[in-house]
Each structure stands twice: as structure tokens, then as C-alpha cells.
Amino acid sequence: MKNKEMREARTEARTATNNAFTEALRRFETAYRLDKDSQAYAEALNSLATAVAYSVLKKCIDVSQNPQLKEVRVSIARDTARLEAIRYSGAHAFETVFTSDGDMARKTVDSSMRDAQDKLASECLGDGLDLVNTAIISILGETAKTIERGELDSDFLEKPYTVRRLKKKVWIKSEDSVGGWETAETTPIQEVYKEVRRAIDASRAMSTDARNGYSYLEELSYDSESDAESVIYRRLSKYADLGGYATDFNGACTLYSADSQTADDMDTLIELLELTARQAQVLKLRLSGHGEKAIATYLGVKRQSVQDVLKAIQQKALKAGLKPRF
């Protein structure tokens, strides 16, 4: 019985949240059509952008349990209150006066309010309001696109429209790269959500490296139908820095690199020798400069196993008329 009550409570909470978000959408749409210069419009825009930022962060936190993102979410309310406190203290700390020459000047009328404003202004803000501002820009951008399409209806932020986009921006095998572009259905508010999510992925608050040990090669993909270009990424094998490594002139910094030609040559070699997945993995690690012991530690196997794999690769290379140098 208790579990049933908890499920019902969660359902009611989700329904209330969805209703509140829908109200925020309608409030902004109404304010935009009535008067874009009004205070009500500015408040509706900020309220909707804040709701989007909270929602996207909640989804990210539920998945990753990232403590930094939890702090970003908390910072939205905290920094909003802080900025309001700065505004309030500034309004009560000073007044505008005119000098004997008729020039405007600012005069302190409450030193405690002035000191409070200085203290508040010296504190650093978190990344939460950056996400709110990203949502604001995206909302305005999507609204402008809606006007261009002539679809400024009462629920224009949820009205579907079609866009041209890549099926995949990251590909591993060559056959995956030809997936190309597609016509997809979306809505303005969905695009706003995606823009905020991209901002989170690029945020300094993310504590993990998005590459997760992979190397990526950047390429351009062109869509002849929409005359658009977009960057796509070819993902190489994990920790396979095929270009080897280099150090700065002091020998202090190790910089790994990779290039398309090296990656293509590796793919050709793997296909020519008909290597298994494990053999290909060991070969890439070996050619990247890793020793047998390091490879064994990384793969969680005995050093002898690595030596056996390398020996099998050498035999295949000799059979194919190649002279292996690893």
C-alpha cells in the first residue's frame, strides 16, 4: 500500500511540474504577442528559460549523478537571489544628485547598503545563470524562426516543423559515415532543450572528459539539399593515439596526435591482415608506443598473452609480404 501511495505521489508531482511548465510556455507566448517591451514579457521569458535550465539539469543529474551539475542547479536560485540583493542594495545605497555645475553625480545615502552591495558583487557566480541565458537566446532565436515561417500561433513553441540534420555526428566505421543527412521533425522548445544540453556538455562544470579516452578526427559533411555544412567526428579506438606522441622543447609536456591518413592506413592494415578485434587493439596500442607490460596492464591480461598476440600478428604480416617493426 505504501509503494502504491509513493507511486501516486510521484505521478502527481510530475503532473504538477508538467502543468507548471505548460503554463510558463503559454505565459511567454501570450506576453510576446501582446507587448515585447513590457515587464511581464521580460519576466515570462526569464521564467521559461529558468524552467528549461532546471529541467535539462535534472535529466543530466539523474543520469550522471554529477555533483558539479548539482551545484550548478542550486546556483540558479542562489545567484538569482544574489543579483536581486545587489540591485536592491544599490537602489537604497545611492541617490542621484546634481552638482553646482548641473552635472549628475551619485551620492551615498546608506553606507551599510553600499558595503553590502560591494560584498555581494565580489562573490563569484556559478554556471547556472549562464544556462538560463543560453535558454533565453535560444528561445528568442526559435521565436524569430517561427515568425519567418508565419506560424506565430497561441502554442507556437510546441508547433512541429521540419529541419535538415545529420543522422550521426560521430562515426566509427566507414560505412557509418555515409548515413548522411535527414529531414527530421522537431519543435522550437525541443531545440531550446538541445541547445541548453549542448551548453552543459561544454561547461567547465563537467568533471569528466567527454572524450573518455577516445581520439576524434574532425571532418566536414555537406548537405546538397539544404546547402548546409556541419562538422562530423570520426572516433578512433580507445587510447589509440595513432600519431604517436611529441614533447615540447623542454620535454615537459606530452602531446598525442592523430591524423586521417594514419587512421586510414591503420584500417587498411587491419583489413589486409584480417586481424581479430583483440589483435587490432593490441596492434594500435603497440604502434602508439605502449610496451608489452603496459598493454597487458591496460587489458588486464598476462604479458605472455600480449606477446602471443603480437607473434600472431607478425606471422600474418610476414605471410602478407610485410615486414613488421614493432
Q: Indicate the Cα dihedral angle 314, 317, 322, 326, nearest 10°.
A: -30
- Among 139-143, 167-171, 182-186, the least confident range: 167-171
* Residue that the C-alpha cell 507566448 belongs to: 29
Q: What is the CA radius of gyration of the chain?
A: 29
Confidence of residue 23 (pLDDT cuts 50, 70, 90): very high
Percent composition of the chain: helix, strand, coil (DSSP 3-state, to 5): 60, 15, 25
Name the DSSP class of 251. Answer: S
The mean of the pLDDT values for the chain is: 80
Pairwise CA distance, residues 80 & 243, whole Å: 47
pLDDT in tens, 124-166: 888 899 999 999 999 999 999 999 998 888 889 999 999 888 8
What's the pLDDT score for residue 9? 55
- Determine the angle formed by the axes of helices 188-201 and 39-64, rounding to 10 degrees: 60
